[in-house]
Structure 1
Amino acid sequence: MDDDKEQRELQERVMRYRVMEREVTDPLAIGLLHDIVTELEAALEQPDRYSCKSPAAISDCRAKRKY
């Protein structure tokens, strides 16, 4: 059940970042938000990795799960 909750939370985060990406006007911010959305969507596609809490932590989680 925790996995379902974590996945829903991650889906909500993706939606929030997508909204921000559409609303922001700064080109650099748009690019950064797009990268964040891309990483979060990749985490959603791999259910064993969606417990990562931040885009920066995704690579850390991947490294930890290899062991």
Structure 2
Amino acid sequence: MTERQLTEQECQIARYRHLEREVTDPLAACLLHGIVEDLEAELRRARPDWHGPRD
């Protein structure tokens, strides 16, 4: 992945995390959580020094 793609991946993770916090349907929250976990795992493989969101 290029640096730009990695940055876009981080932004996508942040958007899905925000949706996960805002959603009221438990199934939707669970699905969003799974998406976030998959995206973070992919990002960790591409950038081993990445340790999570910078909140």
TM over 0.5: same fold?
A: yes
- Aligned letter for 2:10? Q
Q: Which has the larger radius of gyration?
A: 1
Give the C-alpha shift of residue 10 in structure 1: 0.3
Q: 5+ residue gaps in structure 1?
A: 49-67
Q: Which has the higher helix share?
A: 1
Runs in 1 of length 4+ with deviation above 3 angstroms? none
State the identity %.
47
Q: Alignment length, in residue pairs? A: 47
TM-score (norm 2): 0.81
Mapped partners of 1:20, 1:42: distance in 2: 19
1:9 alignment partner in structure 2? 8
